Structure 1
Amino acid sequence: MIARSLFAAGLLAASACSADPQAATAPAGTEPAAMTNGGKPFAETVVADFDSPWAMTFLPDGRMLVTEKAGQLLLVAADGKSRLTLATLPVDSAGQGGLMDVVLAPDFARSKRVYLSWSAAGDGGKGVVLARGVLDDAAAGSEKLRQIEVLFRATPLVEGNGHYSGRIAFSPDGRYLFFTNGERQKFDPAQDPKATLGKVLRLTLDGKPAPGNPLAAKGFHPAVWSYGHRNLLGIAFDSAGNLWEQEMGPKGGDELNLVLPGRNYGYPKVSNGDHYDGRPIPDHSPGDGFEAPKVFWTPVISPGGLMIYSGDMFPQWKGDAFIGGLSSQALVRVDLNGTDARKGDQWDMGARIREVEQAPDGSIYVLEDGQRGSQGRMIRLTPAQ
């Protein structure tokens, strides 16, 4: 971990290069406008657009935090009409890298802490980091994210610009943080007990390996909760406390998994897909010693963000999982029933969907990917009339 003084200096330097954040308005043409729903069971309203957005979350007052690939953390008005930059983080944004997830601390109402992840370069390569800061919103119009500190770094650092993952979820009791580390397109680290790559990690809120993790006594990195994963771009708890995770498979075999402590999910030894060069990978099969996905997709959907719906605006979907589809340009719904799952709907959204979130009023928000520096819209979904 870099010294905090050096990190702070780098952060100030990066922030000094950013545009003036004070009360910048949304670009012209992003005023809310209803879209034709094409027979979908929801109406779509464009709220705002962004430069390659990656993730979002809602503040208790309805305002939103949005991350952009290049490193900007934005505070966005509830109506989407204004925004300002809370921080510009020193990310390595090549390839699939950038500023990634943003999630409020379980005690945000008291602590004002915000957790983030991003890709960073270091000695020997690159990796995903977990960090947090404190939202200073005492003065309206001059809010900032302060006291930013890096808590955890994926190991080992490796070359390449893909499969960082970096999704964050807090346990229902608020005591632990679950953090996804992708296998970085290197295959074997997903099975390497000493690496955090290709794993779901369980950490304390300070970014330390949580005590009692199930594999530490077997020689694994002490933060590992489950392993044998590929590119984990969504993680969420349901109302019963079950932990769900979705990940991109190789050529075929995208997965939705019920994450259980200490289990091996098989990659790259087994998968319902094959290598991109055509080499086969054995399928999951009963008795193979690996945890099989609850749902898989071939052809792939390229799953982005994951949300489990708990609102009242769409009562028929309460308890279901929603997944953003990247290459599929879709919003995907999965029926969850306890620890079982089955495919539900797949709606064509006409754009790569990077993120899906539930608003405080129970509406559903999606973020378009805005691939390669293009604009990505934020769209609010409400029941079709």
Structure 2
Amino acid sequence: MLILSVLLFGQLTFPVHAAEVAVISDEIAVGFDYPWALVQLPERKAGWLVTERTGQLIHVADDGTKVQVPLQLPGLYVAGQSGLFDVILAPDFATSRWLYLSYACGTPNANTTCLARTRLSKTTPYRTQATEKLFTARPLRKGAAHYGGRMAWLPDQTLLLTLGDGFDYREQAQNLENHFGKVVRLTMTGEAPADNPFPDKTDGRIFSYGHRNSQGIVYDPTRKVIWQHEHGPRGGDELNRLQAGRNYGWPIVSLGIDYTGAMVTPYEALPGVVDPEYHWTPSLAPADMALYQGTMFPQWQGGLLITHLAGKRLQVLMPEHDTWQVAAEYRTSNEARLRAVAVADDGAIWLLTDSDNGRLLRLSAPKD
């Protein structure tokens, strides 16, 4: 059984004005190996694509049948937090059939975040072809942590890709001569758009900087805003309004402390650094985000759906008095870590749990 509950903010800090929302949960498929992302295919009853961090791309039919889609990514590196990350469809997918995939590439001593695209066949069983690498974050580094890897399309058909700070390289998030702790903006073929904010820095692809490890990004067409969230250390997970050329502070500004208990920085705010729109302290480890624009849950229209790993919940954030407030939260009965979230074309909410036996779940409203 899966449980949805509205938070009672008498024991927290923010008021909430929302009625409890009834939700039905269905388990669609099981047995995923650390699933990381999911995307619905647009053809009628075509199902979903799911990535597994360990390197597999899985097609899930409407009845829950799973079939692996052959995929060969150049230099895929799987270890620790590294592996296959996000998958999104090209804006012209109906005609081009391009899938865009973010992943870790390289070796234990020299790896980074990469972006590739591949064409998906029109018929099942699905196949991929014409795979090409479009972008490699620089420089290469050691270790297997903090890659970022989430993607979002902007209305001009440019692509945003989040990049982590590499964990051991956090000071480099403030350095515009590399890709650590940045969000980059790319054309559909991986080039730097001419109107990016730092055309003379690195390779001209940097859009924003001062990020730690961002695993959620969406474009909000109604508000014409990019929403982005990122992991803090111990405390200070952030939800940001992302703007071109701005500094989001890491690690010179933080609302969290280091895992050792030491102070990362004495500053919670500084001139020239964008303050978060919302923060989670203690950390819940936000892992993905979707903008709700469906009709199945009208109470959540325009809200942000955010999954959490350490927090083991889905939160619904709604705007209230020019800020975001948690309107509701959802947990599984076995307290599973929640990795990915997506909104289906019928308005249902789909989730992936994070484990070596991950589950694909569907949340829907009861029928009258």
Q: How high is the TM-score relative to the length of structure 1? A: 0.85
1:347 maps to amino acid: Y
Equivalent residue for 1:245, pick from 195, 216, 228 = 228
Kindly tell me: are residues 338 and 112 of structure 1, through their superposed partners in 2, closer, same or farther at Cα, counting changes over 3 Å?
farther
* Deviation of 1:360 (Å): 1.2
| Aligned match of 2:204 | 222
| Equivalent residues in 2 for 1:14-29, closer than 5 Å | none
- Alignment match of 1:110 (pick from 91, 95, 100): 95
- Structure 2 SS opposite 1:87: coil
Residues 165-222 of structure 1, C-alpha deviation per residue, up to 9 Å, x if partnerless? 1111110232x010111001021111111111101111111111111111224x4541
Distance 1:260 1:38, change over 3 A: closer
My pick for the range that moved more, 144-153 or 84-93, is 84-93
Q: Residue 332 of structure 1: CA displacement? A: 1.2
In the alignment, structure 1 residue 171 sits paired with structure 2 residue 162: no
- Please tell me whether the aligned partners of residues 306 and 322 of structure 1 are also in contact (alpha carbons under 8 angstroms): yes
Structure 1 residue identity aligned to 2:213: N
Residue number among 52, 57, 68 corresponding to 1:68 in the alignment: 52
- Aligned match for 2:306, one of 320, 323, 329: 323
Instruction: Calculate the TM-score normalised by the size of structure 2.
Output: 0.89
Q: Name the CA distance, whole Å, in 1 between partners of 2:131 and 2:203.
A: 26
Query: Quick one: percent identity of the two aligned structures?
Result: 38
Residues 65-115 of structure 1 show CA distances to partners (whole Å, capped at 9, x for unaligned) of 110111111121122124232325452111001110000000001101000
Preserved contact between residue 4 and residue 331 of structure 2 (Cα < 8 Å): no
Displacement after TM superposition at 1:347 (Å): 2.3
Aligned residue in 1 for 2:65: 81
1:264 maps to 247
Say which structure, 1 or 2, has more relative contact order (CA 8 Å, 6+ apart): 2
From 117, 134, 138, give the equivalent of 1:132.
117
Aligned pair in 2 of structure 1 residues 347, 36: CA closer, same or farther (>3 Å)?
closer
Instruction: Indicate conservation of the 8 Å contact 1:239/1:319, yes or no.
Output: no
Contact 2:4/2:329, CA 8 A, preserved across alignment: no
Structure 2 Cα separation of the partners of residues 117 and 360 of structure 1? 24
Question: Who is 2:187 aligned against?
Answer: 204
- Describe the SS at the equivalent of 1:200: strand
Quote the RMSD (CA, aligned, Å): 1.9
- Cα offset, 1:311, TM superposition: 0.5
* Residue 359 in structure 1 maps to residue 344 in structure 2: yes
When residues 68 and 88 of structure 1 are mapped into structure 2, their CA distance, relative to the original with a 3 A threshold, is: farther
Q: Following TM superposition, by how much is the alpha carbon of 1:330 offset from its aligned partner in structure 2, in angstroms? A: 0.5
Letter in 1 for 2:48: M
Aligned to 1:154: 137
How far is the alpha carbon of 1:279 from its aligned partner? 2.1
Tell me which of 28, 45, 65 is aligned to 1:47: 28
For 1:115, the aligned partner's letter is Y
Q: Distance in 2 between matches of 1:318 and 1:105?
A: 25
Gaps of 5+ in 1: 1-34
- Select the structure that is richer in helix: 1
- Among 254, 276, 279, the residue aligned to 1:293: 276
| Range 128-137 or range 117-126, more displaced | 117-126
Matched, 1:376 2:358: yes
Alignment-derived partner of residue 86 in structure 2? 101
Residues in 1 aligned to 2:364 and 2:108: alpha-carbon distance in whole angstroms:
47
Relative distance call for 1:124 and 1:98 in structure 2 (3 A) is closer
Gaps (5+ residues) in structure 2?
6-20
Number of corresponding residues: 343
* Gap change, CA 1:131 and 1:336, over 3 Å in 2: farther
